[in-house]
A and B are shown apart, each in its own frame.
Chain A
Amino acid sequence: DAKTTQPTSMDCAEGRAANLPCNHSTISGNEYVYWYRQIHSQGPQYIIHGLKNNETNEMASLIITEDRKSSTLILPHATLRDTAVYYCIVLNAGNNRKLIWGLGTSLAVNP
């Protein structure tokens, strides 16, 4: 499974867009990019995933570069409740479905 690289921490002002980058330069053709977040010690929460097209749902947007070597998670209007650790994970679409987690990005949304 491809590895991912994320900044350790980021800050964002409340109401602004939070743009969280992720590098996955060794991603292969059948690997998806998944984003989860974890608030305090709660269970990880699914946010969004994509293969090569940009994706949007009620929580966020996912922008994947054309070469698929990096992606950006966008929270369009960050709130204090979005303060969490955000994990970018590359998942093979085959039978091996275990998620390999890194250290993620600790996002602090400030008032």
Chain B
Amino acid sequence: GAGVSQSPRYKVTKRGQDVALRCDPISGHVSLYWYRQALGQGPEFLTYFNYEAQQDKSGLPNDRFSAERPEGSISTLTIQRTEQRDSAMYRCASSFGRAADTQYFGPGTRLTVL
């Protein structure tokens, strides 16, 4: 079946602009996770959802970052007033939502802020 998909795959924006990154999880997956990955580093947790409820947003770096999953399926990560330090690969993962279950990752969105 289809895996996790993310769009756009690449996004170039100017400093100060808002961006919205989309994640479409695997069908039937209850949990959805957002991570950010800098070059040469492992992914860094941002936030996660069970259904439409945001369970943990402790990894969001500041209030310019927000995420939503209004219908418990597709999720959008929004970054307002982007800064150059926001440039990174943004990765989404989904899972069935059981304890200690496997997270499956999408291809990521490469964000470049000029």
Chain A interface residues (CB < 8 Å from chain B): 32, 34, 41-46, 49, 51, 87, 91-104
Are B104 and A95 interface neighbours, CB within 8 A? no
Q: Tell me how far the C-beta of A104 lies from the nearest C-beta in chain B, rounded to whole angstroms.
A: 6
A111 vs B113: C-alpha distance when bound (angstroms)? 39
Are A93 and B107 interface neighbours, CB within 8 A? no
Are A43 and B108 interface neighbours, CB within 8 A? yes
Q: Tell me how far the C-beta of B3 lies from the nearest C-beta in chain A, rounded to whole angstroms.
A: 9
Are A98 and B33 interface neighbours, CB within 8 A? yes
Q: Is B8 an interface residue (CB 8 A)?
A: no
Q: Tell me how far the C-beta of B23 lies from the nearest C-beta in chain A, rounded to whole angstroms.
A: 11
Q: Using Cβ atoms and an 8 Å threshold, which residues of chain A touch B106?
A: 43
For this complex, 5 residue pairs linking A to B, each with C-beta atoms less than 8 Å apart, are A43-B106, A97-B31, A97-B101, A99-B43, A103-B42
Main secondary structure of the interface of A (DSSP, over half): loop
The total number of A-B Cβ pairs within 8 Å is 57
Q: Using Cβ atoms and an 8 Å threshold, which residues of chain B touch A43?
A: 4, 91, 105-108
**Known interface pairs A44-B91, A44-B105, A98-B56; A93-B100 also in contact (CB < 8 Å):** yes
Q: Using Cβ atoms and an 8 Å threshold, which residues of chain A touch B48?
A: 97-98
Which of A91, A98, A100, A102 is within 8 Å of B100, CB to CB?
A91
Q: Using Cβ atoms and an 8 Å threshold, which residues of chain B touch A42?
A: 107
Q: Using Cβ atoms and an 8 Å threshold, which residues of chain B touch A102?
A: 42
Q: Tell me how far the C-beta of A89 lies from the nearest C-beta in chain B, rounded to whole angstroms.
A: 9
Q: Using Cβ atoms and an 8 Å threshold, which residues of chain A touch B102?
A: 34, 46, 49
